[in-house]
Structure 1
Amino acid sequence: MYRKGCPDEYPITLVLNGYEIAVFQLTKHDLEDWAYGYLFSEGFIQRSSDVGSIIINEEMGTINVSLLNGFNEEELFTKKKHYTAGCGRGVTFFSMTDVKNFQKVSSEHSYKLSYLLKKRSEFAQNSPFYLETGGMHGACIVDEAGNITVREDIGRHNAVDKIIGHTIRMGLQPERLVLLTTGRVSYEMLSKAAKFGFPVIGSRTAATKQAVQLAKYLNIEVIGYLRGKMANIYTSTGRVENDLLEIPAVEMH
């Protein structure tokens, strides 16, 4: 009988300017990308240059980050934590109300559904840890030239943080990118994408009702069940054209 390997996960403590933020279950790949992505997603930094240094100690299970401009420690520790749903338990400091105050997303770029399905297939073929274990999540960006970049983790939100960290470190512009993910698009996943400004999010599985409501409010196109020749288009920004007439995409209102 053929057996796949087991996916890895480790408790990693994030320490910010000497303050312990939380302990996260992470896969030990692309941890620097994760740190940048998580700090950006949670509003600790606005750009990669806000970070003075990052010291990763895998043996001790710590990521020590120094911010050049500091942060409001008192405000942080009085904010309510929201523990995220699903695998690879995470924590966010943003509520649904907070996310509604994010800037609405603007982009003139549009895509054919057949193109996004093709890129989703390329994403699957270029996810080595998933292919090895069958138990990893992934996140992928597609740039305007059609190039893809993939990051993987035991947690779907961790994988998204890793790919966001990569994009801000590379100085990429959000309006020219598509975000693809293997995980369910819940409100905290939508908030991460909205914070960066992705105009289009595609997932191989579903989006929650709360995420769809937020996406409509923030002008983000969300497509679920993106696999084979099928898809659910949950929103209606006009950025995705359904050119698969024989298999209609279903718009959810």
Structure 2
Amino acid sequence: MNQKGCPEEYPITLVVNDFEIAVFQLTKQDLEDWVYGYLFSEGMIECAADVQTVLINEESGVIDVTLATNFNTEKMFSKKKHYTAGCGRGVTFFSMTDVKTFNKVEVGKTYQLSYLLKKRSEFARNSPLYLESGGMHGACIVEESGAMTIREDIGRHNAVDKIIGHAIRNELEPSSLLLLTTGRISYEMLSKAAKFGFPVVASRTAATKQAVQLAKYLNIEVVGYLRGRMAIQYTSLGRVIYDLEERVLGANPN
């Protein structure tokens, strides 16, 4: 019988400008990317330069962040918290109504389905934490050149925050990027993609009804069940060319 190690998760307290946001369950790898990605996804920063310092104390399980002095702490933290569904529980300050005010995605690269399937396979083969232990989620961005960057975490939304953090720290242009994820695409996952501006989001599993409705409204292409030589189309915005149509399953996005 093959044996794998257990996935690891740790309680990490995020403190921003001396205000405790919440305690998150996280995998310790790439924590600085997670900080930037989470703060960006929540509207606390607009670019990496808005972060003055990030102090990570793994021993005490505290990340202490100082943001630019023009950050309105009282206004942000007076908002109602919404706890996210699924593993590695997270927290967001955005409701569905808030997310609908995000900018719609008007540009984006066109991809063939066969290319998405190929990159999804490469993603799976290059996810070391998952291969070592199982039970881990991953998020991956694919650049125009085909270059891939992967981040992993016990929580699917944490993995997406990590990859967004990597993107904004490296000033990558969202219109040229493809986002792949292992996790269910729920509305809070879609909101993270929308905040950054990914034109195409694809997953090896399902998208929720709320996420699909939001994707249509914000003009984001969503593809689910990206496995082997098949997929499910949730939106039809013309950014994914289904060159393997006989292998593609139809989906009712309503």
Task: Give TM class, smaller chain.
Answer: over 0.9
Q: C-alpha offsets along residues 50-99 of structure 1, whole Å, 9 cap, x if unaligned?
A: 01010100001011111123422222232111100000000000000000
Give yes or no for contact 1:38–1:165 (8 Å, CA) kept in 2: yes
Equivalent position amino acid for 1:107 in 2: V
Say yes or no: does 1:79 pair with 2:79: yes
SS at the partner of 1:246? helix
Which residues in structure 2 correspond to 1:61-140 (within 5 Å)? 61-140=61-140
**Which letter does structure 2 place at the counterpart of 1:8?**
E
With structure 2 as the length reference, what TM-score do the two structures score?
0.98
2:222 counterpart of 1:216: no
What is the TM-score with the length of structure 1 in the denominator?
A: 0.98
Q: Give 1:248 deviation, angstroms.
A: 2.8
1:247 aligns with 2:247: yes
CA distance in 2 between counterparts of 1:204 and 1:126 reads 15
- Residue type of the partner of 2:23? V
Aligned to 1:22: 22
Identity %, equivalent residues: 73
1:108 CA displacement = 3.9
CA drift of 1:215 comes to: 0.1
Distance 1:27 1:73 in 2: 27
Helix, strand or coil for the counterpart of 2:54? strand
1:189-228 → structure 2 map (5 Å cutoff): 189-228=189-228
Post-superposition Cα deviations, 1:4-39, rounded to whole Å, max 9, x if no partner, equal 100110000001011111110000000000000000
Cα distance, 1:196 vs. partner? 0.1
* Deviations, residues 112-159 of structure 1 (Å, cap 9, x unaligned): 000000000000000000000011000000000111100000000000
Contact 2:108 2:199 in 1 (8 A): no
Counterpart amino acid of 1:229?
R
1:210 is displaced (CA, Å) by 0.1
User: Match for residue 42 of structure 2?
Assistant: 42
CA–CA separation in structure 1 for the residues paired with 2:69 and 2:140? 30
| Aligned mates of 2:144, 2:216 — CA distance in 1 | 23
Determine the C-alpha separation between the residues in 1 that align with 2:77 and 2:108.
39
Measure the CA separation in 2 of the matches of 1:32 and 1:144. 25
State the Cα distance separating 1:42 from its structure 2 match. Answer: 0.1
Aligned residues: 253
4+ aligned runs moved over 3 Å, structure 1:
none
Unaligned runs of 5+ in 2: none
* Equivalent runs, 1:48-63 vs 2, <5 Å: 48-63=48-63
Give the deviation of 1:246 after TM superposition. Answer: 2.6
Stretches of structure 1 that go unaligned for 5 or more consecutive residues are none
